[in-house]
């Protein structure tokens, strides 16, 4: 079961309105990341026991930076500060 996050940059208008995060019933979890290749913010499945590198859900690159749940972070597009907040809804 999980929730959704949204990201909005105050400067360049880059937004991600609905990013799923949380843990599935079988163990893996969706974690937030910044992709250094396509400069996006999203989530990807991560399971520690699998040994596989997570991939970007947009470009499938492996160069990801886990961002945790920090409320304020740098925009991957322009480098200025943006806001990460809770969005409505949930998933199972």
Where are the chain's structural domains? Answer: 2-86
Q: What does the pLDDT look like over 8-37, one tens digit per residue? A: 999 999 999 999 998 877 778 888 999 999
Specify the pTM.
0.82
Examine the pLDDT at 70 and tell me if it is beyond 70. Answer: no
Distance in angstroms (rounded) separating the CA atoms of residues 56 and 62: 6
Radius of gyration of the chain (CA): 13
């Amino acid at each position: 079961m999980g929730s959704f996050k949204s990201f909005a940059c105050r400067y360049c208008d880059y937004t991600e309105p609905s990013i799923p995060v949380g843990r599935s019933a079988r163990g893996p979890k969706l974690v937030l990341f910044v992709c250094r290749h396509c400069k996006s913010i999203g989530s990807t499945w991560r399971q520690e026991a699998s040994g596989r590198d997570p991939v970007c859900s947009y470009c499938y690159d492996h160069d990801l930076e886990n961002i945790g749940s920090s409320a304020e972070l740098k925009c991957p597009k322009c480098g200025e500060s943006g806001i990460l907040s809770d969005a409505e809804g949930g998933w199972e």
